[in-house]
Chains A and B, each alone.
Chain A
Amino acid sequence: MKKLNIMLSATVGFIGVAMAGQAAAAPSCGSNTGEAATGEPIIVGGIHGNAAPGDFSASTDAAAAYFSCVNANGGINGRPIDYRVENDQWNPELASQAAAKLVDDAGAVALVGNGSFMEMAVNAGTYAKANVMVMASACAISECFESSNIVSTNQGPLPSNLGATQYAQEELGATNVACIGLNIPNNGPWSCQPSIDLMKARGGDGSMALLNPGAPDVNSALLESIANGADTILMNLPAGLAIAVLKAAEEQDLRDSYNWIAPTPLYDLSVPEALGEYWDGKVWVNAELAPFHLNGADAQNWLAVMDSYANPNDPRDTFAQSGYLSARFFTDTMLAMDPAEVGDRAKVTDAIKSIKGLTSDLMCGPYYVGDSDFHMPNHAGYMLQMVGGGFKVVRDCYEFDSAYFEPHIALEKKLGLR
């Protein structure tokens, strides 16, 4: 992957127009035979977390849509994918039960599209023991990126925070970044700290203000950040809570006194309207996957799949892109396998671990897995500015400056991807 760091000056995308143009395309899925698969189903699982304080079901919704499309187009060599989804409700007991049901009882050959704050921490050991791979899509905690049997298409908060912080330091003049996150050791502190380290390495400073996920008091976190001397507020939170932070700041008219930056969860088409004109042009968001209006072939296919096979109310956001991508990469891998082996979990796991160099215009770099104890194939992204009721790209694909990625870069070199 080549370091780009290119500043785009003219790419302004207003998503509604772009998406309207894309909706008419016919979806392309799997073998594209146009005939429904009727053979013995292949069981594939998926776990999302949908409960207060966040809904991570967009990824499994999109994966389900793609698998429905695959099943309507020949399946995996005639065998349909039986995609079973469980909700962990942000509860470790339910997360454990969901994995037990899918991995042990149902005998899923793999899990695809997982999105959660909880289940990866509880189940990473279970997946390794059962030798089953999870091609996740909406990961937010460290276990998702630091385990042998989980690989995610999304970046998670650590790189996305870094991308936003790096941009703020280089372009917005940030000298002191306060990271507001959830007080979950494998989420908030884990993902805030590298951004603080980056600021310190570049002569600035940083701090973190952590929220109780059960009773988040955003106003206190905001005041704590200001008291720490921040000039830039990094909202490392699910979209709903990040909006709450911005609303609290609006009530105190703090907009022009600080830079407001966020990782991917705030890149949601409904956010500009939810925030109103007050915030127009004042919020910068890092996008883990290609912004919707860039309109590449895979981006168009994602929307076509969603329009044809998903519920109209299912979100069309980054996690949905990520769920689609995981499902597509999984399907492509299964189609490349010996048809006699696609129902064998061990063979499927080997095939997934052998993935390298799959590409999509939704991702900045190639997707790979490899046989290692860490996986983070996606660690480059875009920077967007919320403006005019939508988002515009202010920096194209760029890699993030952190020692955290050294082992990933070494692995990519070993796999011949650099």
Chain B
Amino acid sequence: MLPKLFHITPSGAAGILFAAFAFFVVPTLAGSLWLSVFTSMGCFTLAIAGVAFMYARLGMVSLTQVGLMGVGGWVMLRLNHGFALPFEVNLVIAGLATMVLGWVLALPALRLRGLYLALVTLMAAGGLEIILSTFQFPNGGSGFWGVQTGSGAGFRRPALAQSPEAYLRYVVAMVTLAFLFIELHRRLAPGRAWALIRRSEAAAMAAGVNVTFYKAWAFGISGLLAGGAGALLAGSLGLLDGGTFRASESVMLFALAVVGGARFWLGAVIAAALFRVLPALLNNWGVDADLSFVIFGAGLLHAVITAPNGIAGQITEFFAGLSHKLSNKLGLVPSTVIEGSADD
């Protein structure tokens, strides 16, 4: 059991190498602009990992993810301004609070599937957008909402990550932990239950799987990741604005998760790069960043028509094919591990 639990697949090894590169190399090479862009990208990778995981494991479409990020960011800012707790404690509480909200939102929606579930989650995102725009984000004021008129108070970053370089490393570490957390679930009982639910809810119930519990559990994990992402984004900027957490952004985030490839860790990274790095690149080149929407649309068409597993799926298939050819050429037995466990 244990060796199987900690078995490192080729995809997992590539992920660990990529995380090491992002942790050790990227902060030393990136200028200040790109440190800021990559930090945002890291935060959204975390959120996309949550929404992609729900879609890949259970076929559930959640269009609330960016709104839930806003909730995590709100809790982080409120705690930061209201109490002298360490950043990490605030981060955990923000994630857990959003997880609970994810559960609350999930319970009435659990009997719904497909388009109806998507619509209900979109309505929830719209509601969160209105609440966040109306009551604003805490800026050091008193009372429950913590909003004061005029200039906001300062924000305390983690003691370990005061500089932009260190904060990017901090975010990369958190994202890596999140991917490992998802993979751990995939390899344990929840993963088996989700696989069964995805194939047939009736069959899963017949096999004794508590469908409601495991679906709600998935919503909770997705909420936890979104809350953490929002809290980290708040830490990056020191303040948040309602405009960042519009319902339309949740739709865009889900679409890009499909374009990137919802079944793969690389898909979440690609989706986050499209979401945050591509507009920054266009801005940097003096091109209107709105052009990125055209590119996103083309990417979505590409995914729907020719690449159901997204860009990451195509990359994985390419390397699997290459490995297969090499094995044949060298007279080796082709590895089944590559195709069988490329997910996540």
- Residue tally, chain B, CB below 8 Å to A: 38
Contact B246 A97 (CB under 8 A): no
Q: Is A356 an interface residue (CB 8 A)?
A: no
Contact B244 A100 (CB under 8 A): no
Contacting A105 at CB < 8 Å: which of B33, B133, B152, B240? Answer: B33
Given contacts A92-B240, A96-B237, contact A185 B150 (CB under 8 A): yes
Contacting A90 at CB < 8 Å: which of B40, B130, B243, B289? Answer: B243
Residues of A contacting B238 in the complex (Cβ-Cβ under 8 angstroms): 122, 125
* Interface membership of chain B positions 109-134, coded 1 if the CB is closer than 8 angstroms to chain A and 0 otherwise: 00000000000000000000110011
Contact A92 B241 (CB under 8 A): yes
**Nearest-CB residue, chain A, relative to B130:** A212
Least CB distance from A391 to B in Å reads 31
Contacting A214 at CB < 8 Å: which of B32, B133, B154, B283? Answer: B133
Least CB distance from B78 to A in Å reads 14
Contacting B36 at CB < 8 Å: which of A97, A147, A185, A214? Answer: A97
Assign chain A's interface to a size class: 35 or more
Given contacts A118-B241, A183-B134, contact A100 B150 (CB under 8 A): no
CA A177 – CA B225 in complex, angstroms? 46
Given contacts A89-B289, A214-B133, contact A185 B33 (CB under 8 A): no
Residues of A contacting B149 in the complex (Cβ-Cβ under 8 angstroms): 185-186, 189-190, 193
Residues of B contacting A240 in the complex (Cβ-Cβ under 8 angstroms): none
- Pair count A-B, CB < 8 A: 96
- Which one of A86, A92, A121, A122 has the greatest number of beta carbons of chain B within 10 Å? A92
Contact A101 B33 (CB under 8 A): yes
Contact A143 B32 (CB under 8 A): no
Q: Is A213 an interface residue (CB 8 A)?
A: yes
CA A91 – CA B36 in complex, angstroms? 13
**Nearest-CB residue, chain A, relative to B136:** A185
Residues of A contacting B276 in the complex (Cβ-Cβ under 8 angstroms): 93
Residues of B contacting A118 in the complex (Cβ-Cβ under 8 angstroms): 241
Given contacts A92-B239, A125-B154, A125-B238, contact A185 B244 (CB under 8 A): no
Residues of B contacting A97 in the complex (Cβ-Cβ under 8 angstroms): 33, 36-37, 280, 283
CA A364 – CA B322 in complex, angstroms? 74
Contacting B32 at CB < 8 Å: which of A104, A121, A213? Answer: A104
What residues of chain B have their CB less than 8 Å away from a CB belonging to chain A? Answer: 31-33, 35-37, 40, 129-130, 133-134, 136, 139, 141, 147-152, 154, 164, 233, 236-244, 246, 276, 280, 283-284, 289
What would 4 more interface pairs be, CB under 8 Å, given A96-B36, A97-B33?
A97-B280, A101-B284, A121-B152, A214-B133
* Contact sample, A vs B, 15 pairs, CB 8 Å cutoff: A87-B283, A90-B243, A96-B236, A100-B35, A101-B32, A101-B284, A121-B152, A122-B239, A124-B151, A142-B151, A146-B150, A185-B150, A186-B139, A190-B150, A214-B242
